[in-house]
Amino acid sequence: MITRLKLFEMHGKKAISSVQGGKMKLLLHTCCAPCSVYCIDSLREEGIEPTVYWYNPNIHPYMEYKARRDCLKEYTKNINVQAIFEENYGLDEFCKNVIGDLENRCQNYCYRVRLERTAKYAKENGYDSFSTTLLVSPYQKHDVIIKVAEEMAIKYNVKFLYRDFRIGFREGQNKARELGLYMQKYCGCVFSEEDRYSKKIMKDKEKS
């Protein structure tokens, strides 16, 4: 049985080998600037120069979507990394797809729709592999993200480059604060925003 560590070692060696041969083209799905900080830094340390790919139709409301997108645009420009922004503020489509099963919205829609679009774009535009900054957060469903990404890699015949970026989560967040990047307060969708305020309301009730 091949362990995840072994897979990481195998993929890592393959990635480094590709870089040395000048072949690695990595499309990095990016959910926001703060989460991208450690991911981009660590990939560059490996010799991998990623292309940032913004596609996040699960982020709402629009002003939140705009704040995260605009911050990422400025950050990628400042650090001289190539970035592609695919605009889709998909609130209607999001609601139609998740309303029947809110509890499983992350794995059934939020991860799936973004990783599928990333894998498809990577394949159609000559990238060797794809990855995602979702892998940096200890608050995301890490194993589910990997599973969905691997499914999309098979579906579109493009490599999924796995890295456990969680080891640098705090480092990246601290650097993001030092740089003055926009730091969001919730995951992204309107229901995660509701969860955030529901918890606050409950705490306020307990105090009263």
152-208 tens-digit pLDDT: 999 999 999 999 999 999 999 999 999 999 998 866 556 556 655 555 556 656 666
Burial 84-123 (b: 16+ CB within 10 A, else e): eeeeebbbeebeebbeeeeeebbbbbbbbbbbbbbbebbb
Q: Looking at per-residue confidence, does 56 or 189 come out higher?
A: 56
* 121 and 85 Cβ atoms separated by less than 8 Å: no
- Summarised one tens digit per residue, pLDDT across range 14-24 is 444 444 455 68
d(CA 121, CA 125): 6
Burial class (CB in 10 A: 0-12, 13-18, 19+), 29: buried
Question: What residues contact residue 19 under an 8 Å CB cut-off, 6+ apart?
Answer: 46, 47, 48
Phi, psi (5° rounding) for residue 47? Answer: 95, 10
| Amino acid code (one letter) for 67 | A
Domain encompassing residue 10: 4-207
Burial class (CB in 10 A: 0-12, 13-18, 19+), 82: exposed
Domain count, the chain: 1
Question: What are the residue ranges of helices labelled H in 21-168?
Answer: 33-46, 62-78, 91-98, 105, 111-124, 142-156
pTM over 0.75: yes
As given in the structure block, the two tokens for residue 114 are 């973004």
List the CATH number of the domain containing 46.
Answer: 3.40.50.620
- Summarised one tens digit per residue, pLDDT across range 124-146 is 999 999 999 999 999 999 999 99
Collapsing DSSP to helix, strand or coil, 27 comes out as strand
As given in the structure block, the two tokens for residue 83 are 């970035």
pLDDT at 2: 36
Q: Would the pLDDT of 77 be above 50?
A: yes
C-alpha R_g of the chain: 17
Percent of the chain at pLDDT above 90?
63
- Of 94, 90, 106, 109, give the one whose Cα is nearest residue 187: 106
